[in-house]
Amino acid sequence: MEILLSAKNSPVKKIISAGSYSQYIDETPSSFYKISKQIFEMLLSNFSSLNNFRSTSLCFSDIYGPNDKRNKLIPYLLKNENKKSVRLNSDGLGYFSPIHINDATDSIIFEVENESSQIFKKKLICSELLSVKEFINIYKTVRNKSFTPIYANKNRLSSYKPNNLTSDVVLKIDLETGLNNL
C-alpha cells in the first residue's frame, strides 16, 4: 500500500504490476502466492478508481526463453533432453501455458508506451492451456528428442482445466518457434 500512496504524490503516471494467470485458473485460490496476487490486484484497482490513477495488472502464464536458469519445467527439460529418461516431479495432469519471454516483454513495453482511457485494466497474457503431458509430447516432437518422461505418482483425483482461458494479447512467437530457438 505504501507504494500506491507514494505514487499518488509523485510524477508517476501509471503503475504496471505483474500477476499470474494461475490466480484465475483455480476456482478457489490454493496458495498464499495466488491469494497475495489477487489482494494486490484488488488494492490496485480500488486505489486507481478512488484516485483517478491509471494502472494495469499484467497476468502472465509460464514464461520461457533462452538462457533461463530458473528451476522450471522448460530449463529442466533442456538440461536433461538427451538422457534416456527424464524424471518429473509432476503427474503430468497439471496445466501449463508457455509464452516466450519476448511476448512477455513486448506486452510490458506496450503498456509503458501507450496511454489508456481506462483507469484500471487487467490483461491476461497466455497461450493455449495444455496439460504437462501434452506439452512434453509437443516438446519432444519439436526438438526431435526421444527421452521417456517418468511422471510422479501424485494420486490426483481429477485435473482441473478451465475452458475460458483467453489471452488479451496476441502472441507473436508460437510454441514451435520458441522451442526451436532455445
Distance CA 56, CA 155 (A): 39
Q: What is the CATH number of domain 2-153+164-180?
A: 3.40.50.720
Query: Over the stretch 115-157, which tens digit does the pLDDT of each residue have?
Result: 888 999 999 999 988 899 999 999 999 999 999 999 998 765 5
Residue ranges per structural domain of the chain: 2-153+164-180
In the prediction, which pLDDT does 117 show? 86
Cell of 139: 516438446
Contact present, 158 and 122 (Cβ < 8 Å): no
Q: Exposed, middle or buried by CB within 10 Å (0-12, 13-18, 19+), for 19?
A: buried
55 versus 165: the higher-pLDDT residue is 55
Is this prediction's pTM over 0.85? Answer: yes
Give 122's contacts (C-beta < 8 A, 6+ positions apart).
19, 41, 45, 56, 57, 59, 168
